[in-house]
Amino acid sequence: MNQTQVEDSTQVYFKNVHPKFPDGGKMTQYLESLKLGDTLTFRGPSGRIQYTGPGTFAVKKLRKDPPIIYKASKVNLIAGGVGITPILQLIRHAVKDSNDKTKMALLFANQTERDILLRDELEDVAKKFPGRFKFWYTLDKAEEGWQYSQGFINEDMIKEHLYPATSDTLTLMCGPPPMIKFACMPNLEKLGHDPDRCIAY
């Protein structure tokens, strides 16, 4: 049996508890709509990526493979929707260690501004650790006055808001498979990122 530590990385939004989510979170609403006898299929966590300490990652290409060790002083993080959950867990772990000088840049894609999970915490981390963590959002549908990007992740967003390709840069991604396959990987490769150092959760 695989076990993954989640140490407070998940927030649950029940109905009428959180002012930003009066109807509850999307998962809460979905679960409430199920009828007795309905079934759910869950995937993951696969537990293939482990952050072992300052700038060091143990990555298994397949779950049964021995881990490959990657070192990086700069880590690009790309998340789509709920894909922020393991990404935030990594961010929390890294900034907790005062000896860890790894720099992280996050590009976080969502459908609407209301869909940005854990926004307050991400922005708080950026304020507390400005030399270590920066973020940028992109939305499918943005309201007037939105100060970040709009549209799918593209080459320009990656170039402007993430670290450039070097032998000391690692890119971690978590989100819908089409986002990773059609938006992230082709644009990272165009910008010279080594596909072996671009890893999806």
DSSP 94-109: HHH-TT---EEEEEEE
Say if residue 159 is in the same domain as residue 61: yes
Say if residue 64 is in the same domain as residue 119: yes
Helix (H, G, I), strand (E, B) or coil at 174: strand
- Residues 201/86, Cβ–Cβ less than 8 Å: yes
pLDDT in tens, 62-71: 888 999 999 9
Q: What is the pTM of this model?
A: 0.80
State the residue range of the domain holding 23.
8-42
The number of domains in the chain is: 2
User: Is position 132 within any domain?
Assistant: yes
Contacts of 98 (CB under 8 A, 6+ apart): none
User: Is position 3 within any domain?
Assistant: no
Question: Is residue 27 marked as binding?
Answer: yes
Question: Is residue 28 marked as binding?
Answer: no
Say if residue 95 is in the same domain as residue 26: no
pLDDT in tens, 20-37: 667 777 777 888 888 999
